[in-house]
A and B are shown apart, each in its own frame.
Chain A
Amino acid sequence: MHSGGFSRRDMHRMARSAGSRNNARRSDLEMTTLEEVPETLQGQLEDLLESEEEIRVAISTDLQFNGTYGTDWVLATEKRLLAFNQNGAPTPEVRNIALEAIDQIEIRELHGNNYMKVRTSEGAFEVARYSKRFAPKFAEATPEIEALIDKIKPEEAETSKRHRKYVDAGKNKTRCETCGRPIPRWSDVCPNCVEKGKLLVRLLRYAIPFWKVSVPALLIMLVIRLVGVYPPILSKTLIDDILVPATMAVTGGQPVDSGAFGQLLTIVLMMVGAHVFTAVFSAVRGYMMTWVGQRITLTLRNDAFQHMSVLSLDFYQQRETGNLMSRITQDVGRLRDFIAEGLQDIIGDSMALVYMCIIMFVINWQLALWVLIPIPLIILFSFYFGHKMHKVFHVLWRRYAGISTILASTIPGIRVVKAFTREKYEVDRFQEQTYQVFDGEMNAAKLWTLYQPIMTFLTYIGTVLIWLVGGRQILNGELTLGEITLFMTYMTQFLQPVRTLAQMNRRFLRAATSAERVFEILDTAPSVASRKDAIDLPNMRGQVEFRDVFFSYDSEKNAINGVSFTTKPGEMIGLVGHSGAGKSTLINLVTRFYDPSEGEILIDGHDSRDIELRSLRGQIGVVLQDPFLFEGTIADNIGYGKPEATRQEIIAAAKAANAHDFIVKFPDGYDTTVGERGARVSGGERQRISIARAILKNPRILILDEATSSVDTETESRIQEALGRLIQGRTVFAIAHRLSTLKHANRLVVLKEGTVDEIGTHEELIAKGGTYANLCEKQTELSKIRAW
């Protein structure tokens, strides 16, 4: 906050340095509520301000009232608030409001833009219109202006409703704090600030443990490439030293040198040897590198999943499941390709090119230069083509993703599809998408079919050049037949490495993107974590105190808006309130799925953030509103929180949850497999299994979020009874819309829009005749109708 202001004298000096701030992408990030006022306004200010008056707040907008982009100003001194609104006119209209007169400053948050409004007793004026980009700035300036008003009217400061609490959860980091660039939605780290070099070094670090394999593999490759350039040299020798002299001899009618066949045999054997060598060692190397690649995948994948399991819920909430899955499956795979193959390919291919160039230049540097002429063309073409292909493939990839999306929504939703007889619609939708994939594939095919002939033609230019230039050299006696053959062969061998290197850039980029996506998981710190000095709390008594707790999921509106109350150990608290009142959110804070944005939750007098997470969650049993069963048997699911539980304990827990009876009716009893999301059991059965799971843990704090909402009243009362015995000495938070569920509750907390509306025993609240009494009355009426 700014303590001092600046006087009129200073302003002239500052006006000179006031840069153009229109369209300033980076500069407006340094958020200040005391901006430099442009010269054009200075003149007007001279007349408006008294001599000792200082400007305390000066903020500009990026919108004008007529809905065009442009800059207006809001200024505040210790006496008045000034608004300059241009509104398309040549000179801005000035609104001069004495702070004395201001009742309230309001911010209207609308779609795509906000307004700042000043309310006096006589009327209200809009003073600024600005886009969402400036929302943080205005949110910061508002309390500063309010503070100025309070100074003038201290008597109202206490009572006025001006002091709104601004809770900034600040969860969604949108811009990088160091460079100000946007951070991709999927990421928490700024890709620009993670240096590319560092990224590659980090990647290589995963290869380092396997250097004993990958370094020899690299060496083998270099040797293979070296051996690979050898056979054309052998052919050259064969032609020049044996075949050509022999032909000459034969045409000249002379006998062929008697040792010629021996030499021929040696060279052919050497050729075979070279090929066998290359083949064998390529295979060996391939196996070695696959091993390295798979080891890297293994480490990376496990690291990523291990770290993901530590991350807090907000991480998962901001990302789609599919997106996270593809990072663990695809991106990790792509990294393996890059670390294990990509780098070595690049080194190997460059070496091969260097070898070949050296040999060609040594043999005949003029011809070598000619041969190189088409190479830039080939590189350019590969580059251009790769770019085009990338686009086509990207479109295709999105269309395939479209197919997955349709499948992902219709397969789980098949009941709805059938119930509303929309099979045809879904089939049509699917067909349309598959036709699009077909078109995309054909587009790709078109490109490919073009690619081959063009590439061949470019290479052919090289061949023709060799024939032309090399042929002339032969005629002049400057080149031999063997040498021209060698050039021919190298010309074709050049192609593949050149192509690889031309596409190297994209390979790097893709790997970098994948690396970021994977490292993002590894780099994200869990927002809810145990502190270093966190304590164990082995025997929790179960006293929970909420102290002025605020919480917001999205920093737009507060789901919990200042909740304070204390439970005694062993007390059962019933949480009631309208749907969306914040009941589930409140208990999410107790389990530390999220941490409060402000305020604290004390457990046995310790801030819950100071307690070791394992210790805390180990003593809390939860039955969530939407219970989740894992793929596995019923016994596995009940024993999930206590793997060492005996069969007897499992049965006991099931009995307490009134689940035993229906479980034994399944042919496989406790060994019945329940599928994804607990298919094959009914909603009420699923709830009872999860109650059993929570009870088995023998928790000190038990949380039941609508735990019995799907069971009939009779079953519920039986569960109640069992719970009544079990909850002795435990703190219980029970959420229920059906108020009869809460008849054992010691006290009831009525939540309303994130705040505590009422608190007390059933009798107290009925006597009070407030929200709870009202709810109760309605439900009794309802139950009368039901009883009929």
Chain B
Amino acid sequence: MEQPIQIEDEVQFLDPERLKISRNQFAELEAELPDGSVHAPVEPVRTFPLTQPDQYISLLDAHKNELGLVEDINQLKEADRTILADELEKCYFMPKITKIHDLAGRFGVTEWDAETEVGSVSFDLRSRNDITSLDRGRILIRDIDGNRYEIVNYHKLDPKSITLLETQI
């Protein structure tokens, strides 16, 4: 009997052993693919930016065509991994909020003063819909200008922050 087609076979991951990632003199990401072709600039895209930030990284060329998928950046050689992780950190800036100092507002518009892992920040939201609650107390916030912030688990914040936050979710 003929085997039915396995749908997973449709996706081929780049072989981490034969992929080379470097930075060229134009501060761009350069990738040498297993087939020997070299591309720059290469733009890495997280296909699951919220749930699987380190897995299934799509590499795009200058015309936004996919060159291939990296299954897991931790499988890459150390040097490659560092460069790719560094570039991803640049491309996806989403500070983690550790404390909420103040949060006030009306009509769904709120002004926040918060502490993040990378310094204190104040920002404004335009509606409650800009706050997304995910599983296990995870919260994503998108401010008026398009910046994004994350609360890893709001239950683990200090009581004052929780009280402030709970008025909004």
Taking a contact as CB atoms under 8 Å apart, the answer to whether A23 and B108 are in contact is no
**Interface residue total, chain A, C-beta cutoff 8 A:** 37
Cβ-neighbour of B126 out of A113, A123, A133, A182 (below 8 A): A182
Cβ-neighbour of A123 out of B27, B130, B144, B148 (below 8 A): B27
Taking a contact as CB atoms under 8 Å apart, the answer to whether B28 and A124 are in contact is yes
Taking a contact as CB atoms under 8 Å apart, the answer to whether A191 and B109 are in contact is yes
Q: Is A174 an interface residue (CB 8 A)?
A: yes
Taking a contact as CB atoms under 8 Å apart, the answer to whether A110 and B91 are in contact is yes
Cβ-neighbour of A133 out of B93, B95, B118, B145 (below 8 A): B145
* Chain B residues in 8 Å Cβ range of A125: 27
Taking a contact as CB atoms under 8 Å apart, the answer to whether A124 and B93 are in contact is no
Q: Is A54 an interface residue (CB 8 A)?
A: no
Task: Using A133-B147, A184-B127, A191-B107 as known contacts, say yes or no to A111 and B119 having CB atoms under 8 A apart.
Answer: no
Chain A: minimal CB distance from B123 (Å): 8
* Chain A residues in 8 Å Cβ range of B167: 391
Q: Is B103 an interface residue (CB 8 A)?
A: no
A122 to B26 Cα, complex, angstroms:
8
Highest count of chain B CB atoms <10 Å: which of A63, A68, A115, A131 = A131
Chain B: minimal CB distance from A71 (Å): 11
Q: Is B89 an interface residue (CB 8 A)?
A: yes
* Chain B residues in 8 Å Cβ range of A129: 90
A115 to B27 Cα, complex, angstroms:
12
A184 to B128 Cα, complex, angstroms:
9
Cβ-neighbour of A69 out of B28, B121, B146 (below 8 A): B121
A612 to B51 Cα, complex, angstroms:
51
Give residues 69-108 of B contacting A (CB, 8 Å): 89-95, 106-108
Highest count of chain B CB atoms <10 Å: which of A63, A132, A181 = A132
Taking a contact as CB atoms under 8 Å apart, the answer to whether B107 and A119 are in contact is no
Q: Is B37 an interface residue (CB 8 A)?
A: no
Taking a contact as CB atoms under 8 Å apart, the answer to whether A124 and B125 are in contact is no
Give chain A's interface secondary structure class: mixed
Q: Is A216 an interface residue (CB 8 A)?
A: no
Q: Is A513 an interface residue (CB 8 A)?
A: yes
| Number of A-B residue pairs with CB-CB distance less than 8 Å in the complex they form | 100
Task: Using A69-B121, A182-B124 as known contacts, say yes or no to A111 and B49 having CB atoms under 8 A apart.
Answer: yes
Taking a contact as CB atoms under 8 Å apart, the answer to whether A184 and B120 are in contact is no
Taking a contact as CB atoms under 8 Å apart, the answer to whether B108 and A112 are in contact is no
Taking a contact as CB atoms under 8 Å apart, the answer to whether A68 and B118 are in contact is yes
Give residues 13-36 of B contacting A (CB, 8 Å): 25-28
Taking a contact as CB atoms under 8 Å apart, the answer to whether B147 and A191 are in contact is no
Highest count of chain A CB atoms <10 Å: which of B28, B89, B147 = B147
Closest to A134 in B: B145
Taking a contact as CB atoms under 8 Å apart, the answer to whether A186 and B91 are in contact is no
**Interface residue total, chain B, C-beta cutoff 8 A:** 38
Chain B: minimal CB distance from A608 (Å): 32
Highest count of chain A CB atoms <10 Å: which of B93, B108, B113, B129 = B93
Q: Is B122 an interface residue (CB 8 A)?
A: yes
* Chain A residues in 8 Å Cβ range of B122: 23, 25
Cβ-neighbour of A132 out of B28, B107, B108, B145 (below 8 A): B145
Q: Is A516 an interface residue (CB 8 A)?
A: yes
Q: Is A353 an interface residue (CB 8 A)?
A: no
Task: Using A175-B144, A187-B107 as known contacts, say yes or no to A110 and B93 having CB atoms under 8 A apart.
Answer: yes
Task: Using A122-B25, A132-B145 as known contacts, say yes or no to A186 and B92 having CB atoms under 8 A apart.
Answer: no
Task: Using A113-B93, A185-B129 as known contacts, say yes or no to A132 and B146 having CB atoms under 8 A apart.
Answer: yes
Task: Using A184-B107, A185-B126 as known contacts, say yes or no to A135 and B27 having CB atoms under 8 A apart.
Answer: no
* In the complex, per-residue mask of A661-672: 1 if CB is within 8 Å of any chain B CB, else 0: 000000000000
* In the complex, per-residue mask of A105-148: 1 if CB is within 8 Å of any chain B CB, else 0: 00000111101010100111110010111010000000000000
Task: Using A67-B93, A184-B126, A185-B130 as known contacts, say yes or no to A111 and B109 having CB atoms under 8 A apart.
Answer: no
* Chain B residues in 8 Å Cβ range of A760: none
Q: Is B111 an interface residue (CB 8 A)?
A: yes
Chain B: minimal CB distance from A159 (Å): 21
Q: Is A183 an interface residue (CB 8 A)?
A: yes
A181 to B124 Cα, complex, angstroms:
9
Taking a contact as CB atoms under 8 Å apart, the answer to whether A183 and B118 are in contact is no
Taking a contact as CB atoms under 8 Å apart, the answer to whether B118 and A69 are in contact is yes
Taking a contact as CB atoms under 8 Å apart, the answer to whether A174 and B94 are in contact is no
Taking a contact as CB atoms under 8 Å apart, the answer to whether A182 and B125 are in contact is yes
Taking a contact as CB atoms under 8 Å apart, the answer to whether B120 and A23 are in contact is yes
Q: Is A526 an interface residue (CB 8 A)?
A: no
Taking a contact as CB atoms under 8 Å apart, the answer to whether A185 and B127 are in contact is yes
A12 to B93 Cα, complex, angstroms:
36
A187 to B144 Cα, complex, angstroms:
13
Cβ-neighbour of B147 out of A25, A112, A175, A187 (below 8 A): A112
Chain B: minimal CB distance from A300 (Å): 19
Taking a contact as CB atoms under 8 Å apart, the answer to whether B94 and A111 are in contact is yes
Taking a contact as CB atoms under 8 Å apart, the answer to whether A25 and B111 are in contact is yes
A698 to B79 Cα, complex, angstroms:
68
Chain A: minimal CB distance from B167 (Å): 8
Taking a contact as CB atoms under 8 Å apart, the answer to whether A110 and B107 are in contact is no
Taking a contact as CB atoms under 8 Å apart, the answer to whether A182 and B144 are in contact is yes
Taking a contact as CB atoms under 8 Å apart, the answer to whether A124 and B27 are in contact is yes
* Chain A residues in 8 Å Cβ range of B93: 63, 67, 110-113, 131
* Chain B residues in 8 Å Cβ range of A131: 93, 145, 147
* In the complex, per-residue mask of A187-213: 1 if CB is within 8 Å of any chain B CB, else 0: 100010000000000000000000000
Subset of 28 A-B contacts with CB under 8 Å:
A69-B116, A70-B119, A110-B90, A110-B91, A111-B94, A112-B148, A115-B90, A124-B25, A124-B26, A132-B143, A132-B145, A132-B146, A132-B147, A133-B123, A133-B145, A135-B145, A174-B145, A181-B124, A182-B144, A183-B126, A184-B109, A185-B108, A185-B126, A186-B108, A187-B107, A191-B107, A191-B109, A513-B107
Q: Give me the 8 closest cross-chain CB pairs, A-B, nearest first.
A: A69-B119, A185-B127, A112-B93, A113-B93, A124-B26, A132-B146, A132-B145, A68-B118
